[in-house]
Structure 1
Amino acid sequence: MSNVKHSAKLKLGAYILPIIIISQFACTSLWFAGNAVLDDLVLKTGLGTEIIGYVLSSVQIGFIVGTLVFAILMIADRYSPSKVFMISAFLAALCNMVLLFQDISNTTLFMARLGTGFFLAGIYPVGMKIAADYYEKGLGKALGYLVGALVLGTAFPHLLQGLKLGEDYTMVIKITSLLTILGGASIYFMVPNGPYRKSSKVLQLRAGMTLFRIPAFKKAAIGYFGHMWELYAFWAFIPFAIKTYNSIHNINLPYSLWTFSIIGLGAISCAIGGNFALKWGSGKVAMFSLLLSGLLCMASPLFFLMPTYLFLLAFCLWGMFVVSDSPQFSTLVASAVPIELKGTALTLVNSIGFTISIISIQLLTFWLEVVASSYIFTVLTIGPILGIWAMGKGGLNK
C-alpha cells in the first residue's frame, strides 16, 4: 500500500512543481516590499534617510535569525514542510501589514520588517526542501524554476510601485500580503509531503557542526557564501546605481521599473541554468555564472560611462548571471547531505549566507563614502573570487 502511495506522489510531482513555484513567487513578494515603498515610508514616518538602513537590513537580520532557529530546531525535517510553509506565510503577511498602520515609529518599522524576515525563513528554504522531497533526480532543474520564482517575487514590489497603482503605496503592501496568504494556503492544501521525504524523529542540536565535516557540503557552502556576498548587495543598490547614472547623464530613467526588470531577468536565467544543469551538472553551471558575474563586478565602473542602452544591457546581463548560480549551489548542498538533514542543511546555509549579505550591504554603504559612486560595486568582486576558488579547489565545477 505504501508503494502505491509513493508512486502516486511521484506522478503528482510534475503538477506540484508549478504550484510550489507560484506559491514561492507569491510569498517572497514580501522580501523587497518595504524597499519598493521606501520614499513613501520616509514621508510617512518623517525619519529621513536613516530609515534606509532600517528597511534594507531588518528583513535580512530577521531572515538570519529565523533560519538559525529553524536550522537548530530542525523544523523543516521534523515537521510537515507544507504546514510549516503555510504557518510561516500567514505570520509573514501579518508582519507586512503592520506597515499599513497610521502611526509608525522607527522601532515598529524595524520590528515589522524583522518579523517578516524571520518568517520568510519558513518559506524560501522550506520551499526548496519541499521540492527536494519530490525530485531525487533533476533537482537542479526544479530548484532553477523555484529560485526563479523567488527572484521574480523579490522584484515584483518594484513593478507594483513603478506602475503607480492609484498613486497609493499601501497597494504594494496590501497586494503582497494577500498574495502571501494565498501562496501559503495553496502549499498546505495542494502539496502533500513528498515521496522522498524522510522525517527526523530526534532533535540533533549539533547537526549543523556535523554537516560541515562533510567535504562536499563544506565546499558547496563556501561557493554559496561567495555568491551571497554579491547578490543582495547588488539587488539592494540597483536603484542607487540607476539614480547615479541619471545624475551623471542628466536623464530620467524610471528606476522602479528598471530595478524590476534587472532583478526579474534573473528568474529567466535561473530556469535556463536549471535546464543546462541536467546536461552539464550543477557545479559547471554555478562556476560559469559566478565567473561572468565576477567579471561584470570588476567592469562595473565602466558601465556608468556607457550610452544608456549599453548601461541597461550590462546591468540586465548582470542581473541574470548574479543569481543563476543560486539554485545550483542549493542543489549541491542538498545532494551532499543525508536525506533526513536536507531541510536543516539548506536552512543553515541560507542563515550564514544572509549574514554575509548583511555585511556586504553595510560595507557598500561605507564604501560609498570612500570612493566615487560609480565604483561602489567593485568591492563585491571578493565574493565571486572566493566562490570560484572554493569550487575549483573542491572539484565542484564537474
Structure 2
Amino acid sequence: MDQAGDPPGCWTGLAVLATALLFGMTTWFSATAVVPQLEAVWAITPAQAAWLTIAVQLGFVAGALGSAILNVADRVPPRRLMLYGATGAAATNALLLVAQDVSVAIALRGLTGMFLAAVYPPAMKAMSTWFRVRRGTALGVMVGALTLGSATPHLVNGLGGLQWQLVIVVTSLVTLAGGLLAEFAGRDGPFPFPRGRFDPRMAWRVFSDRGVRLASLGYFGHMWELYAMWAWFSVFLGDTLSLQGISAAGRWAAIGTFAVIGIGAVGCWLGGVLGDRLGRARATILAMGISGTCAVSIGFLQTAPIPVVVAVGLVWGFWVVADSAQFSTAVTELGRQDYVGTALTLQLAIGFILTIPTIWIIPLIAESTGWRFAFAVLALGPLAGIISMRQLRCRHAG
C-alpha cells in the first residue's frame, strides 16, 4: 500500500481499464459523428437521424435490464464480459456498412447499445476491485474517459472531411481493441467482490437497501439533465451564433460543443476527488446545484456576448457530469457486495430510460417558447437529486 492506502499497481490498472472503456464504448458515438453524411446517403429525416442515437440508448436499457434480471454482471468475470460485449458491439456497428436503409441501421444501433450494456457496468465493477480509499477518484477518471468519447463526434463534425465508412470501420476496430485490452492486458485488483449466484429477484431487491435507493434516485435526477444537455447544446449554440450573425455557425457550434462536453472529463476527476474528501453526498449536491443553476439561466443568455454564453456553457459542461461516477461509487460501497454488478446495471438502465423523455421534450419546448425555458426543465432533475442526496447525507453522515 502507498501512503494513501492504494495497492501497488492500482494506477496502472486504472489506466488500462479507463482506456479499455473509452475504446470499448466508441461505437456508441460512431453514427452520431457521421449523421450529416448518412442524411445524404439514405435521405433520412431529422426524426430518423435522432433515432440513430435514441436506438442506442434503448438498446442499452434493454441489455442492462436483461443483464440485471439474469445477474450476468455478478456471474461472469467483469473483464471477460467486457470482451463479449465489445465484440458484439463491434460486429453490429460494422454491419452498418451493408445496411440498405435507415430502418435496418436503427435496428443495428439498438443491438449495438444492447451489447454495450455488457461493457460499461462491468468496467465500473472491475475498477472498483482496485480501490477502496480513492474509489470515487478512480471511477471519476473512468467516466471522464467516457465523457471525452461523448464529445469527440462534435469535433469530427466541426473539422469535417472523414468518410462515414472509414469512421464505422475505425470505431468497430477500436471497440474490439477495448474488449481485448480489458481481458488480456487488464488485471483484477486485490479487493474482489464475492461472486453472486443466479437469483432474478435480486434485480429488484438490490434497491431494498435505503442507501442504495437514495443514491440511485440522485443518479436518476442527474441523468434527467445530462444527456438532454449533451444532445441539444450544439443546436442551442448554433441558434445563438446565428442569432448574433456569426458566420459558419454550425461549424463553430460543433467545435464549441466539443469543448463544453469535453471539459466534463476534468469535472469527473474533480468530482471524484471531492467525493473521496467530502463524501459522495456533499460532492453530488454541489455539482447538481451548480449544473441546475446553469440549466435555468443559460437560455436567457442568447443575446449576451458570445464569450459569456460559452463560459456559462463550459461551467455547465464541467459540473453536469462531475457527479456521475459518485452515484455509482456509492452503490459499490453501500450495496450488497455479491450483487454490486446487478445494482450498478439496474441503476444505469433506469437512468438511461429517464434520458429519453428529456431528449424528446427539449426541442418541443424550444420550438414553442424559445430557448429561454427549454433547458430550465432539466433543472427539475438536479433538484430531485439534491433532495435524495441530502437524505443520504443525513443517514450516513456523508
> Within 2, Cα distance between the matches of 1:144 and 1:189?
23
Describe the shift of the 1:237–1:216 C-alpha distance in structure 2 as closer, same or farther (beyond 3 A): same
Q: CA deviation at 1:104?
A: 2.9
- 1:206-230 Cα shifts (integer Å, max 9, x gaps): 1122122101001101000000000
- Residues 93-242 of structure 1 aligned to structure 2 (within 5 Å): 93-101=90-98, 104-164=100-160, 166-242=161-237
Comparing 83-92 with 388-397, which one deviates more in the overlay? 388-397
Q: Is the 8 A contact 1:26 1:183 kept in 2?
A: yes
Q: Is 1:71 aligned to 2:87, yes or no? A: no
- C-alpha deviations, 1:276-308, integer Å up to 9, x for none? 222212221111000000000110222212111
2:341 matched to which residue of 1?
343
Separation (CA, whole Å) in 1 of partners of 2:196 and 2:21: 27
Change (3 A) 1:10 1:393: closer
Alpha carbons 2:295, 2:379 under 8 Å: kept: yes
TM-score (norm 2): 0.93
Q: Give, in whole Å, the separation in 1 of the partners of 2:299 and 2:196.
A: 52
> Hey, what's the Cα distance between the residues in 2 that align with 1:92 and 1:147?
19
The runs of 5 or more residues in structure 1 that have no matched partner are 1-8
Instruction: Please point out which of 302, 305, 320 is paired with 1:304.
Output: 302
324 and 32 in structure 1: CA distance in 2 versus 1, 3 angstrom threshold? same
Q: Encode CA deviations 1:75-120: one digit per residue, 9 max, x unaligned.
A: 111011111001111111122222323x531221111110111111
**1:43 paired to 2:40:** yes
Pick from 289, 292, 296 the counterpart of residue 290 of structure 2. 292
The corresponding residue for 1:385 is 383
How much does 1:374 deviate? Answer: 4.1
Contact 2:27 2:175 in 1 (8 A): yes
Asked whether the 8 Å contact 1:297–1:377 carries over to 2, the reply is: yes
Tell me if structure 1 keeps the 8 A contact 2:68–2:346. Answer: yes
Correspondences of 1:25-36 after superposition (within 5 Å) = 25-36=22-33
Q: Secondary structure at the match of 2:115?
A: helix
* SS in structure 2 at match of 1:162: helix
Equivalent pair of 1:197/1:340 in contact (CA under 8 Å) = no
The DSSP-based 3-state class of the residue aligned with 1:11 is: coil
How many corresponding residue pairs? 388
- Which residue is 2:329 aligned to? 331
**Alpha-carbon distance in 1 for matches of 2:265, 2:125:** 19
Q: 2: CA distance between counterparts of 1:366 and 1:306? A: 23
Distance 1:201 1:143, change over 3 A: closer
- 1:180 and 1:158 map into 2 onto residues whose CA distance is 19
Change (3 A) 1:366 1:25: same
Q: Which residue of 2 aligns with 1:4?
A: none
> Residue 3 of structure 1 aligns with which residue?
none
Amino acid in structure 2 at the alignment position of 1:246? L
Letter matched to residue 195 of structure 1: P
The 1:211/1:300 distance shift into structure 2, 3 A limit, reads same
Q: Is contact 1:24–1:153 with CA below 8 Å preserved after alignment?
A: no
Letter of the 1:281 partner, please give it.
G
Local SS of the residue matching 1:134? coil
Residue 95 and residue 43 in structure 1: after superposition, are their counterparts in 2 closer, same or farther (change >3 A)?
Answer: same
Instruction: Note if contact 2:129-2:188 (Cα within 8 Å) is conserved in structure 1.
Output: yes
Describe the superposition over 1:309-361 as per-residue Cα deviations: whole angstroms up to 9, x where unpaired: 11111111111110001011111121111211111111100000000111211
CA distance in 1, matches of 2:126, 2:289: 30
Cα distance in structure 1, aligned partners of 2:96 and 2:368 = 34
Offset at 1:10? 4.4
Q: Is 1:11 paired with 2:14? A: no
* Stretches of structure 2 lacking an aligned partner (at least 5 in a row): 1-5
Counterpart of 1:78, as a letter, is: R
Equivalent-residue separation in structure 2 for 1:260 and 1:174 (angstroms) = 22
SS of 2:27's equivalent in the other structure is: coil
Match of residue 250 from structure 1: 245
> Amino acid of the residue matched to residue 186 of structure 1?
L
CA distance in 1, matches of 2:187, 2:393: 36
2:245 and 2:375 mapped to 1: Cα distance?
Answer: 21
Counterpart CA distance in 1 for 2:177 and 2:121 is: 18
Distance 1:179 1:259 in 2: 23
